[in-house]
Amino acid sequence: MLLGYKCCRGGQQEITHSLSPDDLELLREIMENPPLQAGYFPQTKLPEGVNLRQPVKHGLDSIDKFYTPRNLAAMSHLWQAIQRIEDTNLAAYVAFAFTSLYQRVTDFP
């Protein structure tokens, strides 16, 4: 497993590093006990339906199970921050952009 990031200096070259033992331990802790913001992530059960039977057969019976623990935790914190924006127009724009990202952060392309 590698840690990768792109920096604005010198173009969009991706830089990767091996994870340190501390990084691996932190990753394990987050995966086992993600720091979720209660009430700020979906736990809705999937409804009955022909197209929804296959995900349910694979244990994906609620919306939150389509996300990795890390992504779900990050998204829950972002959603909470969006809900705290006082300017309702700005909050609506940010919420629109945020909800358009859901396909990029699920476990599935």
- The tens digit of pLDDT for each residue in 6-57 reads 777 666 778 888 999 999 999 899 989 999 998 998 899 999 888 888 889 9
Report CA dihedral (70, 92, 38, 34) to the nearest 10 degrees.
10
Model pTM score: 0.72
- Mean pLDDT: which of 42-46, 52-56, 66-70, 79-83 is highest? 79-83
pLDDT of the residue at 12: 73
pLDDT of the residue at 10: 65
Q: What percent of the chain has pLDDT over 90?
A: 48
Q: Residue 61: pLDDT above 80?
A: yes
Q: Report how far residue 89's alpha carbon sits from residue 4's, in angstroms, rounded to the nearest whole number.
A: 35
